[in-house]
Amino acid sequence: MVGILIELAISWILLWFFSKNNLNILGFKPNKNRLENLWVGLILSGFCCTIYHLLKTSFIDNNWVLNPKVTLPLLLKSSWWTFKSVIFEELIFRGAILYLLIKRLGLKTGCLLSGIAFGIYHLVSYNALGNPVQMVIIFSMTAIFGILLAYSFGKTQSLYLPIALHFGWNWFNIVVFSSGPLGAQLFVKANSNQLQGIPSLALLLFQIIVLPLLSYWYLNYASKKTNKHKKNSKHSL
């Protein structure tokens, strides 16, 4: 939590120094649209992550089983760790710096730079440097996901949707399906069998593409709904 508080302080300084704004510009204050973004983001990312992990065992002699050693305190501790890690990363890559980049360079360039930085960060955090194949895979996945999260921030002018998309995926991936740095959590694989060849590649493409496409559709839908509401409000005046 100390790291997050330091991030908030640095964010406030950057926003005030470069744009004479405060942390409110990051869209922390809840409203109807932002709360909708929150639950939609959680549903979309949770759904995609669940389908992804179910597909990992659907075409091989494997399945997911409840971890016999799982406990409620373990799940709560892991969920809190996941939430803190998401907030930490969001404040770095989708916070004040992204806001300033978008303001100066535009939405597309700002999102692209944010996604590239997010991808490079994960090459280091995943210890992938020196392994070309692993570097390409990790950078592709995380950079595209980073662009999606940045675009979500830019279009909604709030951190609610990127946090929801990020946390939803990470929570299901790490806590529900035990596929992260915390080890065995709620469900574990029955054995070590894994997809190989073309099915494995297809699943990788699913992981990279499906959530960004669904999120992009939702953002367009939400934007059209908001514009329609504004037009109706003007006609009623």
| pTM reported for the whole predicted model | 0.91
Q: How far is 28 from 4, CA to CA, in rounded Å?
A: 15
Q: What is the CA radius of gyration of the chain?
A: 19
Report residue 185: phi and psi, to 5°. -125, -120
**Cα(208)–Cα(69) distance, rounded to whole angstroms?**
32
For residue 112, give the 3-state DSSP assignment: helix
3 state DSSP class of 131: coil
Confidence of residue 59 (pLDDT cuts 50, 70, 90): confident
The answer to whether residue 234 scores a pLDDT higher than 90 is no
Token pair 């990051």 is found at 26
pLDDT of residue 61: 85
User: Tell me: the pLDDT tens digits for 142-157?
Assistant: 999 999 999 999 999 9
Q: Which pLDDT tens digit goes with each residue over 80-93?
A: 999 999 999 999 99
